[in-house]
Amino acid sequence: EPGYISLEGQKYGFIGGTNGSLSNNESIISGVIDNHPNKNEILNFFKKNKVKLIFLSKKPILDIGTIITLYSH
């Protein structure tokens, strides 16, 4: 939903630019989603797919571009 994700220089950002995979069962996100109107849907998506969501900040989510991590299995 527009307006709940910040993106510098723009009116709003996108959820895809706020997170990335840390491993097969862990994902990182740039901040908290407490004020996002789709919070429950977002959390349920990760839970349904058995992916632990790790919050990198206690600030609201920020679109920083897709987070790309390097990891090995």
Query: What DSSP string describes the chain?
Result: -TTSSB-TTSS---GGGSEEEEETTEEEESSB-TT-TTHHHHHHHHHHTT-EEEES-SSBPB--S--------
Q: What are phi and psi of 52, to 5 degrees?
A: -75, 130
pLDDT tens figures, 26-73: 999 999 999 999 999 999 999 999 999 999 999 999 999 988 887 666
pLDDT tens figures, 10-31: 999 999 999 999 988 999 999 9
Total domain count, the chain: 1
Q: What are phi and psi of 72, to 5 degrees?
A: -120, 155
Residue-range definition of the domain harbouring residue 7: 1-73
Enumerate the β-bridge partners of residue 6.
Answer: 62
In single-letter form, the type of residue at position 62 comes to: L
